[in-house]
Structure 1
Amino acid sequence: MNQFLKRSIRFFAIPIFTLIIVAACDKDMSVMLDNSATSNVGVTLIDSFTINTSTVQLANLPSAGTGNILVGKATVPQSGSVKSTSYFRIGLTSTANDIPETAKFDSITLVLRPTATPYSFGDTTKTQKIAVHQLTEALATKTATPLFPNQGLPLYANGNTIFADQMFGYNSTPIGAASFRPRMHTLDSLSIRLADAIGQDFFTRIKTGNIEVSSYDNFKQYFKGLVLVPDEENTAVVAFDDALEVRINYNYPSADGHKRTGFKTLSIIEPAFQYNNIVTDRTGTAFEELSAKKAIPTSSTAGLTYVQSGSGTVAKISFPTLKEFLQAENIAVNRAELVIETSSKTNTMYPVPSNLVLSINDQDGIPESVLPSVYSSGIQQAMLLQGAETGQNGTYTFNLMMYLQQLKSTQSYDNASFYLMANPLPTETQNREIIPPDLLTSFNTALIASENSKPKIKLNILYTKFR
């Protein structure tokens, strides 16, 4: 047992009333003793389990229908750059030909609005540039396939959708562009004027009742959609709501001789056909060779690992000696907590995840489930406990009691591992509103703190040893 032990607190011949007080003060304490047993009991805290860690790139990340149009490019010094290009299909909100006979085309504009909770990732002090391109290839969904034969699929990749690594053809010549300061908390909207030729074509077809604009199905065959492409020199990724508008503006003389204006609106009719293409570039970092088929052990990165939403970067955690410890005779575990420290600060240009989860993976590292909550029917989400301004690290803490019970009593988790990651599952609010997975709606990043070239991750187990 000494191989597991770093710190030990033992109590012998403890009076019965002392044990009752301890048990009453700690609802996780699971042992009650009588006077006859107190001389044969030791209570021990152990925190020196061997922990294997590595950085993993998730595969088959669906990124459609999240409600967030992520566009931009940002660089984290330790992990490299992330770039998001957003693709979407549009259609007329009304196909009625209600344009006045005397109306003339004026302009066409794309109107983007920040998400309800404004979001940016990266340096927002610099001007950002976005170009609008026209799709030449129709967006199409597909079903995920395993990376290797006979493997399963991750729990988040079910059904037909569009994945973050998919790309579709578009015209290399932009039809519109904008430069702006991404002050998302004060930005009301961003209007991008598009090419008059496209607007005039839409206007004429609507006004003449052309069959290609008579229905959404016809229109999507005629016009395949738009792409928002960030400039390579951009320094931030920003989020726009998918409730965008493409306005075909026109003017016409009224009966009183004054000029009147109006517009026809196109929008995203099918949210499932809006997605974000995510590209990472880790050149020059410790994670340069990271891919979906190649994990990077922390022994190769001086203990550094990280978690990043959007790009699907996760930290793999496993405990090779834990099962052996649990199978020792006469042991009762009273408390089990996994404490993970992050060196990322909450007051920087790179937002930190407010909570993280642990996926439970099969022998091939495929996420099959999420660690459940101990006290409710949902999943367990470890909230970020912020560190002090004096340099203390923030922490995420997980209760592993239920997991240890399963590990000890069954063979289900014998070859399992954890991924520390943003929540990969949608959640439902009290008002029955469905919130898209955290994993897919931002680029929030948590760098795991390290010490002596090892991640600061500890499994703390308080247990009772019956002698």
Structure 2
Amino acid sequence: MKKLLIVFSVGLFIVACSFDIENIPTLEVGQEFVNSEVRVLVLDTFTVKLSTFRFDSINSSSTERLLVGQYNDQFTGKVRTESYFELTPRDYELPNDAELDSVALILGYDNYFYGDTTLISKIGVHQLEDRVNPDEDFFYNTSRLNFDPEPLASINYRPEPFDEDSLHISIPIEFGRPIFEGIRENEINNDDDLREFFYGFTLQPDANDNTSIIGFSRTQEEGAFTIEASSYLRFFYTTPQEFEDEEDFYDLIIQPSTRGVTGFNHISNTLSEESSLTALTKQEDLLPSIASGDLGYIQSGTGYALRVEFPTIRRLFEIEGTGTILSAELQLKPPTDSYNDSFPIRGNLNVGLVDNNNETILTGLLNDDGNAEEQLIGQQEEFSEVLYEISVGTYIDTKLNETTIVKDALLLFTQQYNNSVDRVILQGEENMDFEATLTLTYAIYEE
């Protein structure tokens, strides 16, 4: 099984102008090339081939975000996320006279959302029946654990990821009492003891929800001796005092991923029979944009990514004379009906390389020194539209100088690829509104 385990960072480029091939300029550059007259050609008629593929699985256990929710999407179907996690305390110490008052699961918002947050969502809290312990090194977006189908607790809520700091879910005191008293009486004094009572929770959206997916933070930061948790199972208790009982609390937290695998997100989508994406059953499968409504699909979490090839680029050799590439810019545009306030386009995309089987082979393109170079794609808003651009000069130059043709391609995917469901839809090479375009600036300095 192929797995994508990494996430990459990006930045911004400014969109360049495009020229018609009939209006190619001929310029005297002089000083730039000693004793030479140079013609500079701006070409934008190379074929850009877009194909969607899908990673078999993505590591979803190396993230500090819990994802839960469900919504229906016109492009990628019904998207659903479920969170699974273990809860353990910082220590196993409680006052001998502590009396349990109530129990609550506190989920701290981390400001992430995707979908319509104005609608009421439902979360069911279920007890796990399996330990959070992967057979391999990680859990993946395709992983699941067995759990009690009857929820321990549930809540209907309107998400407020920016206006509130957390969501409070009351847990039955009957569930918490044996755990609390076991720790108090020193019958539970380590994680293995605790697991005999409690493996952890899964957060499940309602099967009928068509609302949003919300991000909750597992932890805020880990210091030298303490962990400031933002999601935790809290036991509220009192201890008797001479004049007035003292109120306090005791927390079970989701340990940070740096301490091992303690949680993961299951991320899936269900497609209609009419969706062209149903053709992608394994990672090697390709869905050309010309077979999918002239669209290319990218989505975090579910595994969709875009393969970009330039099959006619070697026709550059048909131009007489010796030349060099000054720049090469790939321009791509999402259709305006593919994004809005509920389904936003967030910043930039990431770029890498994939081989003929869609295996990731580089996290960035190579510069002239052979080192990985961060490649940047940006967006520019003009007349309320978005246009992406990526500089691919180094990659094109490498393809032109291959002695043996290598069937690799550019890989485009979203940021936060393993802990979000952000998606970007891009128009293909035959779109009437805006074609995917490679614009090449080529200097001929010896004819």
Q: TM-score, normalised by structure 2?
A: 0.83
- Conserved 8 A contact 1:127-1:182: yes
Q: Structure 1 residue 461: deviation in Å? A: 0.5
2:282 matches 1:307: no
Equivalent in 213, 236, 253 of residue 237 of structure 1: 213
Equivalent in the alignment of 1:193? 170
Q: Which residue of 2 aligns with 1:7?
A: 21
Give, in angstroms, the shift of residue 77 of structure 1.
Answer: 1.4
Change (3 A) 1:274 1:456: farther
Q: 1:262 is matched with which residue? A: 248
- Counterpart check, 1:380 vs 2:375: yes
The answer (yes or no) to whether the contact 2:123–2:204 under 8 Å persists in 1 is: yes
Q: Distance in 1 between matches of 2:254 and 2:353?
A: 36
Does 2:250 align with 1:291? no
Distance in 2 between residues matched to 1:371 and 1:326, nearest whole Å = 26
C-alpha contact (below 8 Å) 1:65/1:273 kept by paired residues = no
* Equivalent residue letter for 1:449: Q
The 1:142–1:46 alpha-carbon spacing in structure 2 relative to 1, beyond 3 Å, is farther
Q: 2:324 aligns with which of 332, 351, 355?
A: 332
The 1-side partners of 2:45 and 2:401 are apart by 23
Cα distance, 1:131–1:326 mapped onto 2, change above 3 Å: farther
User: Number of matched residues?
Assistant: 406
The one-letter amino acid paired with 2:263 is Q
Q: CA deviation at 1:122?
A: 0.4
Give CA-to-partner distance per residue, 1:371-400, whole Å, 9 cap, x none: 3386996521212222323xxx31221111
Cα 1:326/1:219, change in 2 over 3 Å: farther
Amino acid at match of 1:177: S
- Give CA-to-partner distance per residue, 1:409-434, whole Å, 9 cap, x none: 335872111221124xxxxxxxxxxx
Which letter maps to 1:87?
Y
Secondary structure in structure 2 of the residue aligned to 1:287: helix
Per the TM alignment, residue 218 of structure 1 is displaced from its structure 2 partner at its CA by 3.3
2-structure distance, mates of 1:282, 1:109:
36
What is the match of residue 333 of structure 2? Answer: 341
Gaps of at least 5 residues in structure 1 are 21-30, 144-159, 424-437
1:99 corresponds in structure 2 to 95
| Bigger strand fraction | 2
1:403 aligns with 2:395: yes
Q: Which residue of 2 aligns with 1:171?
A: 148
RMSD: 2.6
Could you list the per-position Cα deviations for residues 284-307 of structure 1 after superposition, in whole angstroms to 9, with x for gaps in the alignment?
433233333433221222202221
CA pair 141-381 structure 1, distance change in 2 beyond 3 A: farther
Answer yes or no: is 1:457 the counterpart of 2:436: yes
How much does 1:139 deviate? 2.0
Q: Distance in 1 between matches of 2:99 and 2:63?
A: 37
- Distance, in Å, in 1 between the alignment partners of 2:241 and 2:346 is 55
Give the Cα separation in 1 of the matches to 2:145 and 2:403.
44
| Cα distance, 1:327–1:411 mapped onto 2, change above 3 Å | farther
Please tell me the residue identity of whatever aligns with 2:277: F
Q: Is 2:56 the partner of 1:59?
A: yes
Note closer, same or farther for the CA distance 1:410–1:453 as it changes in structure 2 (3 Å cut).
Answer: closer
When structure 1 is superposed on structure 2, of 245-254 and 272-281 the one drifting more is: 245-254
Aligned residue in 2 for 1:358: 351
- The 2-side partners of 1:173 and 1:412 are apart by 60
**CA shift at 1:221, angstroms?**
5.1
Q: Which residue of 1 aligns with 2:265?
A: 276
Deviation at 1:277, TM superposition (A): 0.3
Change (3 A) 1:33 1:221: farther
Match of 2:418, SS state, is: helix
Name the CA distance, whole Å, in 1 between partners of 2:255 and 2:360: 32
Equivalents in 2 of 1:325, 1:341: separation in Å? 25
Distance 1:76 1:46, change over 3 A: same
Tell me which of 417, 421, 428 is aligned to 1:443: 421
Report the TM-score, using the length of structure 1 for normalisation.
0.80
1:142, CA displacement in angstroms? 4.3
**Cα distance between partner residues in 2 of 1:63 and 1:446:** 20
Which structure 2 residue ranges, 5 or more long, are not aligned? 1-18, 220-230
Contact 1:8 1:45 in 2 (8 A): no
Q: Structure 1 11/297 Cα, relative in aligned 2: closer, same or farther at 3 Å?
A: closer
How far, CA to CA, are the matches of 2:333 and 2:403 in structure 1? 30
The 2-side partners of 1:331 and 1:412 are apart by: 21
In structure 2, give the amino acid aligned to 1:207: R
